[in-house]
């Protein structure tokens, strides 16, 4: 049975991206052609965040490397760090902050809503100062996209370095790194880029690079150390042997996005359509505002168990959907419509299979999902 992976990442890669992984390998430490490919890929990566001023680096390792690396690279012992928390991943930054010697101060937001910027400003004025702040653009477990276009300028105004997890939004949501005054933006390969997992993309502002270069203490670690990467373009010396296949596949994936139709608009329109289908059929969308364009989080209906639904779709239709994590486990199911999965024909197949499942479980819907989708 052919599999259809409709989770919020990893996503299915296109045939062209898969072929790009099969190039004849070279010695990436010595071959100048690889350095040129790396430079070209970094420049293309910046186009997805509308940035000319930032420096892009691409590291080998799943996207969690970027999150830990940012904390390892920017936090020094005793630094007060603002952890902006309105979701599981936002809260999770606190573990990395403590791991690298920071003092965590949590700003707690509503887990069903985007961050309230006015409340955040009042909190900073009352509880600050802070050296840096961590935040998540798209809270994947609950399907919320936070207003970083307002949060990051506020942080810069307050003298706070911003570290933004954009793993599930990069490529699928509108981002203007320079204009929005973002300092550190973290992305991955397996979400909207639809490349195999194993790559981390980091974007650094000039302010972020200055802080890196002027640390008082040594960074605790090597693999997650951003200092080893900020001068790659100038000196051509990678801290470890890179993967030509990974860089080539990212390059091809970026070309597909840059040269294709408006990728961000496509994600936004499809996400809106999916949410409306579920609402019109009697389901509850979990977030109350600031909906993600890359995934939809839906409350599991009463009388249905997520594991049963997941196994039915997997075993009978070869379709994988996402559950959620921590306190949301078993309470939400999530549909990924990002990257190569942002296609109406794939959503249609999934919705038709869901209709069959709900009929199998005698759950009466207001309307058929797949019929509502094609209206």
Residues 219 and 270 in one domain: no
- 11-34 per-position pLDDT tens digit: 999 999 999 999 999 999 999 999
234 pLDDT exceeds 90? no
Closest CA to 105 of 76, 130, 135, 138: 130
Residue 132 to residue 66: CA distance in whole angstroms: 16
273 pLDDT exceeds 90? yes
1 pLDDT exceeds 90? no
Residues 247 and 297 in one domain: no
- 315-333 per-position pLDDT tens digit: 999 999 999 999 999 999 9
| pLDDT at residue number 375 | 87
Residue 116 to residue 130: CA distance in whole angstroms: 19
Classify each residue of 188-206 as buried b or exposed e, where b means 16 or more C-beta atoms within 10 Å of its C-beta: bbbbbbbbbebbbbbbbbe
| pLDDT at residue number 233 | 85
| pLDDT at residue number 52 | 97
Q: For residue 98, what pLDDT band results from cuts at 50, 70 and 90? A: very high
The structural domain count of the chain equals 2
Residues 222 and 100 in one domain: yes
Residues 203 and 299 in one domain: no
* Residue 163 β-bridge partners: 134, 184
Q: Which residues have CB under 8 Å from 146's CB, separation 6+?
A: 84, 86, 114, 115, 135, 136, 137, 138, 139, 290
- 148-182 per-position pLDDT tens digit: 999 999 999 999 999 999 999 999 999 999 999 99
Residues 207 and 269 in one domain: no
Residues 286 and 248 in one domain: no
Q: By residue range, what is the domain housing residue 335?
A: 4-9+262-373
| pLDDT at residue number 3 | 95
């Amino acid at each position: 049975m052919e599999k259809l992976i409709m989770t919020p990442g990893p996503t299915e890669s296109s045939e062209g991206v898969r072929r790009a992984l099969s190039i004849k390998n070279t010695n990436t430490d010595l071959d100048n052609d690889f350095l040129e490919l790396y430079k070209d890929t970094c420049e293309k990566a910046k186009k997805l965040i509308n940035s000319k001023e930032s420096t892009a680096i691409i590291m080998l390792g799943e996207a969690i490397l970027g999150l830990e690396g940012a904390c390892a690279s920017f936090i020094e012992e005793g630094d007060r760090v603002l952890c902006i928390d309105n979701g599981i991943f936002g809260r999770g930054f606190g573990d990395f902050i403590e791991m690298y010697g920071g003092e965590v101060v949590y700003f707690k937001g509503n887990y069903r809503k985007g961050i309230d910027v006015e409340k955040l400003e009042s909190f900073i004025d009352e509880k600050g100062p802070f050296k840096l702040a961590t935040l998540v653009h798209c809270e994947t477990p609950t399907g919320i996209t936070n207003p970083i276009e307002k949060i990051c300028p506020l942080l810069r105004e307050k003298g706070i370095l911003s570290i933004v997890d954009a793993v599930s939004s990069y490529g699928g949501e509108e981002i203007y790194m320079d204009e929005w005054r973002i300092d550190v933006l973290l992305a991955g390969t397996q979400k909207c880029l639809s490349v195999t997992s194993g790559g981390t993309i980091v974007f650094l502002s000039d302010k972020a690079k200055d802080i890196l270069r002027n640390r008082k203490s040594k960074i605790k670690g090597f693999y997650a150390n951003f200092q080893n990467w900020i001068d790659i373009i100038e000196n051509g010396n990678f801290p470890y042997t890179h993967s030509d296949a990974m860089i080539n596949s990212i390059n091809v994936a970026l070309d597909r996005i840059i040269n294709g139709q408006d990728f961000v608009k496509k994600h936004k329109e499809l996400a809106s359509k999916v949410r409306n289908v579920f609402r019109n059929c009697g389901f509850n969308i979990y977030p109350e505002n600031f909906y993600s364009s890359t995934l939809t989080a839906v409350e599991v209906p009463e009388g249905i168990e997520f594991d049963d639904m997941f196994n039915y779709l997997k075993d009978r239709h070869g379709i994988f959907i996402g559950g959620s994590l921590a306190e949301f486990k078993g309470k939400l199911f999530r549909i990924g419509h990002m990257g190569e999965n942002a296609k109406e024909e794939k959503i249609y197949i999934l919705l038709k299979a869901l209709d069959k499942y709900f009929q199998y479980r005698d759950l009466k819907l207001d309307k058929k999902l797949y019929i509502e989708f094609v209206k």
